[in-house]
Amino acid sequence: MNPLAAGRFRPASPCGRPVNWAATGRLGGGSVVPFDSLNLSTTVGDDQNTVLANQLSVAALVGASELHILDAKHGSQVGLASHAGIARGCDGVVTTVPGLGLLALAADCVPIVLADPGAGVIAAAHCGWRGLTAGIVEATVSAMRAQGAITIQAITGPAICVHCYPVQQDCIDQLRDGLTPEQFLSVSHKIGSQWHVDVRSGVHRQLAQQDVQFSSVDRCTFEDSSLFSYRRDGRTGRQGMMIVL
Ligand SMILES: [Zn+2]
C-alpha cells in the first residue's frame, strides 16, 4: 500500500534525527462499503478487526511499532502518550517515545502532525472550526514546548476546502466571538450570499502565530473521491496522518 503523501521532518541542527510522517487516503485497505477501504476509525461502525488490520498496515508506512490514536472531541485537551492506546477526550497528543506512532483521524477536519526533531518531541492534532475557537493548535504547541520542543515544524493533511464548506450563520457567529478579528477575517469568506469557512487557513494562521513553520498536503476531501468526506458521504470512514520519532 502506498501513502497519499509522506516525508520527513529534518532537524535544524546536527543533533536529532529525521522524523517520518505519512498521510493516508481511502484506498488500499480491507474495509467494505461504506468504509471502503482504508478506514482507520473504530468508532464509525466498521468491523473492528478490519480496522485494526488497516491501522497496523499504515503504522508500517512510517515504521511505527505501535500507535497512539487521537479521539476527536473538537476541544482543546492535549494528552501525553507513553504507550499504544487511545487519547480519550483529546484533540491533540504529544510523545517523546521513539517507535510510538501518533495517528490523527479526520474526514473533512484538518489533521496536523508536528515535530521538533532536534528535541525529540512530536505531536498529532485534529482541528475543525470548533477547534479553531477552542485553541487546539496553541494548546498542542504549548504541550510540545513543555516537553522541550523549541523549533517546531508542522504539516496539515487533507481537509475540506473553503469552496466546499458552506456553513450556517450560527457557526460564523461563534467564530466571530471566539477568534481575533484578524483570525476571523482569514477563515470566513462570503461566496455569493453564503458564508464559507476555510479551516486550513485558520490552522495555518494559528501555527504561524506560534512560530511554527508549516506546509500542507493540499487536497480537498469533499472533491476527491479517493478521500473520506463526512460532508459528502455521511456514514463513512476516516483517513489519517501519522508521525513517529
Ligand atoms: Zn473543495
Which pLDDT band, with edges at 50, 70 and 90, does 13 fall under? Answer: confident
Give the span between the Cα atoms of 242 and 69, in whole angstroms. Answer: 9
Q: How far away, in angstroms, is 48 Cα from ligand 1 center?
A: 30
Q: How far away, in angstroms, is 220 Cα from ligand 1 center?
A: 5
pLDDT mean over 115-129: 97
- For residue 155, which amino acid is it? I
Which pLDDT band, with edges at 50, 70 and 90, does 137 fall under? Answer: very high
Q: Which residues pair with 243 in a beta bridge?
A: 21, 102
Q: How far away, in angstroms, is 217 Cα from ligand 1 center?
A: 13
pTM exceeds cut of 0.85: yes
Q: Is the pLDDT of residue 16 over 90?
A: no
Which pLDDT band, with edges at 50, 70 and 90, does 12 fall under? Answer: confident
- Binning the chain into helix, strand and coil, the percentages to the nearest 5 are 25, 30, 45
**What digits encode the pLDDT tens for the residues 65-113?**
999 999 889 999 999 999 999 999 999 999 999 999 999 999 999 999 9
H/E stretch holding 196: strand 194-197
Return the pLDDT at 199. 98
Q: How far away, in angstroms, is 219 Cα from ligand 1 center?
A: 8
Ion ligand 1: residues, CB within 5 A, are 161, 164, 220, 222-223
Cell of 166: 458552506
Task: Assign 212 to helix, strand or coil.
Answer: coil
The answer to whether 19 touches 28, Cβ cutoff 8 Å, is no
Q: How far away, in angstroms, is 241 Cα from ligand 1 center?
A: 19
Task: Assign 53 to helix, strand or coil.
Answer: helix
Closest CA to 38 of 59, 21, 7, 67: 59
Please enumerate in sequence order all residues whose Cβ is within 8 A of that of 165, keeping only pairs 6 or more positions apart, or say none: 108, 196, 197, 198, 199, 222, 231
The answer to whether 131 touches 91, Cβ cutoff 8 Å, is yes
